[in-house]
Amino acid sequence: MKIPFNKPFLTGNETKYIEDAVKSMKISGDGVYTKKCHDFFEQKYNFKKCLLTTSCTDALEMAAILIDTKEGDEIIMPSYTFVSTSNAFVLRGAKIVFADSKPNHPNIDVSKIEALITPKTKAIVPVHYGGVACDMDEIMALAKKYNLYVIEDAAQAIDSYYKGKPLGSFGHLAAFSFHETKNIISGEGGMLVINDDQFIDRAEIIREKGTNRSKFYRGEVDKYGWIDIGSSFLPSDIIAAFLFAQLENLDEIQKKRVGNWNLFHEKLIHLQENGCFQFLDLDENQTNNGHLFALIMNNLEERSALIDFMRKEEVMPVFHYLSLHKSPYYQDKHDGRELDNCDRFADTLLRLPFYHDLSKEDIEKITSLVIRFFDGK
Ligand SMILES: *Cc1c(COP(=O)(O)O)cnc(C)c1O
């Protein structure tokens, strides 16, 4: 039986809640289920204000608007990330200043950030790769020193912590994804978290096409109109109904995924000790939310060979990001600095199939293929 890279997990209540949302006849945005999701996140993680969006990409675009990103502003972020992290700011005319990754993890190397700050710098956008926390104390301290905004790209970071505090609660703003490939899903979907009060009112307006319709529905104003720029960033309540079925099972989902992760780790640790590859190790400040299981291979050739070897047995590992500073779209706009760690992860990082429903036998099959590959060398 083929083992795909990803398989979405359904809790069983998704269609029931969707039917319920449909029957309520209030199926546009900000209905009953959207409110339930907002309350869930605000209570569980103590986020100040949560707003569901149609994607994490949208949440990042809202963040770029909220901090008034303008032509010429500079935004510091890692190059080893998804295009949306950058695109959101490029759409508003910003210049992206890419920072290198840490030597042993794709997360942004904080020791490289300060030298990149100029009077034009407006924000730092840390990406918690694989749901593993960036060095948030250092990043927040730099932001304070230079009066910058911090926007966490927490797309992969649901239910993960830094020094005991949930990711998404550090930056002025944070963006989560509920795309089918993430831990908690709604097909497409996302959320903007607002931790800084000054952004709350305007975030509601931007999300509602630049109108104060949210205030109107709450009875806080007697008519609504066009008062700012904005777009349609809010999802239908049908999407929120799907998401809520997932949220009710969040602890169970996380427990299973982290259990799967530990099993992979246990079965492959001897190969890491033999230097066949490295894991993305955690320090005592970070937690593992079971988002992905990655191997850092020793070189590109070995990665390609392992992918081919496993695919022949119908097991589907994949690599991950390509360096954004070398992308066809951005290479001419990049300032030319070499980002060696980022390039190395682009060449050597491999993700094994990883999802909720992997059985012990599946994990045995996947890991024994990895072991066989190295035995045959
Ligand atoms: C998945 C992902 C996104 C985009 O999320 P969407 O919900 O698909 O828009 C952005 N950044 C990172 C780091 C991601 O992993």
CATH of the domain at 180: 3.40.640.10
How many angstroms separate the alpha carbon of residue 245 from the centre of ligand 1? 21
% of the chain residues with pLDDT over 90 = 97
How many residues would you count in the chain?
A: 377
58 CA: nearest ligand 1 atom: 9
Say whether both 235 and 221 belong to one domain: yes
Does 263 map to a domain?
yes
Are 134 and 124 spatial neighbours (Cβ–Cβ below 8 Å)? no
Q: Could you identify the atom of ligand 1 that is nearest to the CA of residue 182?
A: 1
Ligand 1, atom nearest to 81 Cα = 13
- Mapped onto helix, strand or coil, the DSSP state of residue 156 is coil
Q: What residues pair up with 78 in beta bridges, in sequence order?
A: 99
CATH number of the domain where residue 313 is located: 3.90.1150.10
Same domain, 215 and 175: yes
By the 10 Å C-beta count (0-12 exposed, 13-18 middle, 19+ buried), 97 is classed as buried
Instruction: Please check whether residues 55 and 179 belong to one and the same domain.
Output: yes
pLDDT digits (tens, 9 = 90+) for 105-151: 999 999 999 999 999 999 999 999 999 999 999 999 999 999 999 99
Q: Which of 77, 83, 84, 188 to probe ligand 1 with, by most ligand atoms within 8 A of CB?
A: 84
Ligand 1 centroid–CA 60 distance in Å is 9
Written as one string, the DSSP assignment of 15-42 is HHHHHHHHHHT--SBS-HHHHHHHHHHH
Residues 234, 267 within the same domain:
no
Predicted confidence band of residue 376 (pLDDT cuts 50, 70, 90): confident
210, two tokens: 């630049």
What is d(CA 35, CA 39) in angstroms, rounded to the nearest whole number? 6
Tell me if residue 295 falls in helix, strand or coil: strand
**Does residue 243 sit in the same domain as residue 254?**
no
d(Cα 17, Cα 38) in Å, to the nearest integer? 16
Whether the predicted pLDDT of 377 surpasses 80: no
| Apex 86 CA angle, 69 and 340, nearest 5 | 130
Whether 174 and 193 have beta carbons less than 8 Å apart is answered as yes
Q: Which atom of ligand 1 is nearest to the CA of 128?
A: 13
Q: Is the dihedral of CA 141, 146, 147, 153 positive or negative?
A: negative
CA of 270 to the centre of ligand 1 (A): 33
80-110 tens-digit pLDDT: 999 999 999 999 999 999 999 999 999 999 9
Last residue of a domain, one of 199, 227, 247: 247
Q: Are 348 and 298 in contact (CB under 8 A)?
A: yes
Interval 318-348: pLDDT, tens: 999 999 999 999 999 999 999 999 999 999 9
Residue 55: its pLDDT value, please? 98
Ligand 1: residue whose CA is nearest its atom 1? 155
Report the candidate in 41, 33, 21, 18 with the shortest Cα–Cα distance to residue 250. 41
- Overall number of domains in the chain: 2
In angstroms, the CA 360 to CA 354 distance is 12
Domain range for 71: 14-247
